[in-house]
Structure 1
Amino acid sequence: MLPNQRREKILELIREDGHAKVMDLSRIFKVTEVTIRQDLERIEKEGLIVREHGGAYLKDIDSNVRNFSLQNQENIAEKIAIARKAVEFITDGDTIILDSGSTTTEIAKLLTNYRNLTVITNALNIALILGAQMGITVIVTGGEFKAPTLSLTGQKAADFFQSLHVDKLFLATAGIALKSGLTYPGISDICVKRAMIESANETFLVADSTKIGKSSFASLGALSLINYLITDSKITADDIKWLKNYDVQFVIAEATE
């Protein structure tokens, strides 16, 4: 891996977890701690992180948590369109899982006027959005708090789903690629997402088109884990072709003015 590629991956990990230790990054990327410190120094000069003894943390993370705002707010129009399409698959009486993420947050905002809907989530911001909605029962997992995504993660969050059965899961992702499948920046999230999938009768992957063809750090598994992909109309013809060849069922959400 080239140094600039390694730094991109390091920043991706810090943006996902909020912080990282030099020792852990050295082990993950199989380079010396001196090299990692040099990488962190370069990233800090770009104004994206703040170094501390033994590691680094994401800049402005405190204010984001206090304001309950997510870091990733890119492609918001496309995410809203995907959310509008996703709620068409939700009916009264369903028990669903909403994964943490900016697109699933947009789904939560649209869950009004439902009756006898149960929502299980590992996202604290989603729980707050839905907590006052009449007709919706909100259940929150346990786990370790992850500041940038306002989510709960790790083995305790995964254990919550043992012996649970739900109708539908709306799953987020960082990357969708033919060879690497579904990928994520945070290693601690993999066990949680796997447990969610095992609990769900149907899995809907909600991902804007910029995620297609992209690979992140940790692999969840093949695209065969999902039942449907809901994406936006900016998906390319080439991406549509390989998804069809891979026998992925997908729904394209058209953005409205």
Structure 2
Amino acid sequence: MANSRSTPTSTTATRSRALAETRRSKMLDWLREEGSARVRDLAEAFSVSEVTVRQDLEKLEAEGHIVREYGGAYLKSVRQQVRAMALQHLENMDAKRRIGRAAAALVNDGETIILDSGSTTTEVAANILGHRDMTVITNALNIALALGAEPGFDVHMTGGHFKAPTLSLSGERSADYFQGLFVQKLFLATAAISLEAGLTYPALSDIAVKRAMIVAAEKVILVADSSKIGARSFTALGGLDLIHVLITDTGIAEADRRAIAAAGVEVIVA
């Protein structure tokens, strides 16, 4: 009778394939966030060899996601996306529009606020039109263009490195802009949020910027659709104690809502 149990060798191979698939998925998330990446940076970030990174990039290119170039790779769709001034992450837009309206209801005339880059914060920007005497600080080019010519809005942009998929400015220079600033409210974006991992993001470059935004704000309002709750991305920003309010949609599980509220965060369901 044949032995149907897995051998140690097959179990190891299965585990290795699963780890490689997870790593490639996180690399693709990185590229969707940053637009491009160098082999040596990915190797260091994922603690693998450059040979392994090249193999992963070959697989992602074969699947049609990216284009490899000497020393790295870039997202295949990034040129057309930037020319169209479109954002990369446009899933769950109905929920994001509801979140944007709920977030805008917390904004008062005369306030100074920070709008982080992202598709949900873009919806916040769209819904604060009509306010007066507003000062808006943002690292998002599309948000600055949407609000910059509106009466009643004084719009300021950070400096820094341009990230094509999010149409944003990032890096240490962008973070430095917030030193010495004080604002009433920050509307913050995230890639994932969980009780265990806190707020996490696909890549490293935004972490310093988001920390600087948080330090500058009296009240931190996280806008995140329910698909991000319970998920975990690559790089941790910090725990739920960083935020005061979470605005999400009706897809949030009741157990998650209670747990986040128990952590001291006001939860608004749009």
Q: TM-score, normalised by structure 2?
A: 0.92
What is the alpha-carbon distance in structure 1 between the residues aligned to residue 227 and residue 220 of structure 2?
20
SS of the residue 1:129 aligns to? helix
Q: State yes or no: 1:113 paired with 2:126.
A: no
Q: For residue 203 of structure 1, give the secondary structure of its aligned residue in structure 2.
A: strand
- Aligned partner letter, 1:106: E
1:205 pairs with 215, 219, 222, which one? 222
1:24 aligns to 2:5 (yes or no): no
Matched, 1:170 2:198: no
CA distance in 2, matches of 1:26, 1:112: 44
RMSD value over aligned CA atoms?
1.0
Q: How does 1:42-53 map to 2 (within 5 A)?
A: 42-53=59-70
User: How far did 1:29 drift?
Assistant: 1.2
Distance 2:263 2:220 in 1: 17
Please state if 1:2 is matched with 2:19: yes
Residue type matched to 2:77 in 1?
A: D
Q: Count residues with an aligned counterpart.
A: 253
**1:179 aligns to what?**
196
The 5 Å alignment of 1:56-75 reads 56-75=73-92
Residue 105 of structure 2: aligned partner:
88
Q: Partners in 2 of 1:212 and 1:238 — Cα distance? A: 11
Matches within 5 A, 1:106-185: 106-185=123-202
Letter paired with 2:229: I
Rounded to whole Å, the distance in 1 between the matches of 2:255 and 2:67 is 40
Distance in 1 (CA, whole Å) between partners of 2:160 and 2:45 is 23
Give the Å deviation of 1:238: 2.5
Task: For 1:52, give the aligned amino acid.
Answer: E
Per-residue Cα deviation, 1:56-102 (whole angstroms, up to 9, x for no partner): 10012111111110011000000000000001110100000000000
Which structure 2 residues correspond to residues 230-241 of structure 1 after superposition, within 5 A?
Answer: 230-241=247-258
Q: Distance in 1 between matches of 2:254 and 2:108?
A: 32
- Counterpart of 1:15? 32
2:64 aligned with 1:35, yes or no?
no
The C-alpha deviation readout for 1:203-225, integer Å capped at 9, x for no partner, is 10000000100111111101001
Read off the aligned partner of 1:103 and give its amino acid letter: T
Task: Quote the Cα distance in structure 2 between the aligned partners of 1:249 and 1:135.
Answer: 30
Give the drift of 1:233.
0.7
Q: 2:205 aligns to what?
A: 188
Which residue does the alignment assign to 1:243? 260
The DSSP-based 3-state class of the residue aligned with 1:170 is strand
Counterparts of 1:137 and 1:25, CA distance in 2:
39
- Write the distance in 2 (CA, Å) between the matches of 1:193 and 1:169: 10
Give the match for residue 121 of structure 2: 104
1:54 matches 2:71: yes
**Structure 2 SS opposite 1:89:** coil
Counterpart code for 1:177 = S
Letter in 2 for 1:185: P
What's the offset of the Cα at 1:186? 2.1
Give the superposition deviation at 1:244.
2.9
Q: TM-score, normalising length from structure 1?
A: 0.96
Q: Higher Cα Rg: structure 1 or 2?
A: 2
2:10 corresponds to which residue? none
Unaligned runs of 5+ in 2: 1-17
Q: Report sequence identity in percent.
A: 56
8 Å CA contact retained: 2:244, 2:264:
no
What is the alpha-carbon distance in structure 2 between the residues aligned to residue 86 and residue 139 of structure 1? Answer: 20
Q: CA deviation at 1:249?
A: 1.4
**Is 205-214 or 31-40 further displaced after alignment?**
31-40
1:78 pairs, out of 71, 95, 106, with 95
Q: Which amino acid aligns with 2:99?
A: I
